[in-house]
Amino acid sequence: MVGWILLTFWMSANSTAVQAPAFKHVRSAESEVRTLIADGYGRSATFKGLVDRVEHLSGVVYVASTVKLSQGMSGALLHQPAGMREMPVLRVLVKTNLARDEAISVIAHELQHVIEAVSGLPASGEFSISAAFDTLDPTARARGVREYETDAAINVTAKVRSELQTRDR
């Protein structure tokens, strides 16, 4: 009897949990972040499109949580890639204290930046995410800041937020 009860609880917990698909280019070492990515992938067509696009890029993105980011940011694409020019390894950070849907929206925002940065890398020469963003957001350099923003990423954030609000969990 006790065995059946335990089996029932185990099956119930495993059937309702969001199972993270195995992505090759969008990764996280943290189960909670993988669950956020899976949730966004299942609930937002825009988020799904971003992940699918990154999956077809030459590069790997690791998404990690962090307690604090500078300048009040909720997420960031770090500009120090690892790996080779042909397969850069990029790191995205997302603050831990965000509401679930907001964290998913921030991940989407940063994935849009990944797409912009990797697509904007020159075919040869300097291997620099900052150089790619200098082209995408030339006003940042003129202002003397290293915090870049693009209209595309802002629009993605708003669209994913809207899709998440209209889609049940």
CB 23 within 8 A of CB 55: yes
pLDDT score at 84: 81
* Local confidence band at 133 (pLDDT 50, 70, 90 cut-offs): low
Instruction: Output 55 or 21, whichever has higher pLDDT.
Output: 55
Helix (H) or strand (E) holding 26: strand 26-27
> Could you tell me the pTM of the whole model?
0.81
pLDDT score at 1: 44
pLDDT score at 7: 38
Query: What angle do helix axes 129-136 and 100-120 make, rounded to 10 degrees?
Result: 90
For 105, 123, 140, the CA distances from 126, given in Å and listed in that order, are 31, 9, 19
Provide the 3-class DSSP secondary structure of residue 129: helix
Match domain 20-166 to its CATH number in 3.30.70, 1.10.3470, 3.40.390, 1.20.120. 3.40.390
CB 163 within 8 A of CB 45: yes
Rounded CA separation 119/9 (Å): 46
Domain ranges of the chain: 20-166
pLDDT digits 0-9 by tens, 76-126 = 998 888 888 778 899 999 999 999 999 999 999 999 999 988 886 666 656
CB 66 within 8 A of CB 73: no
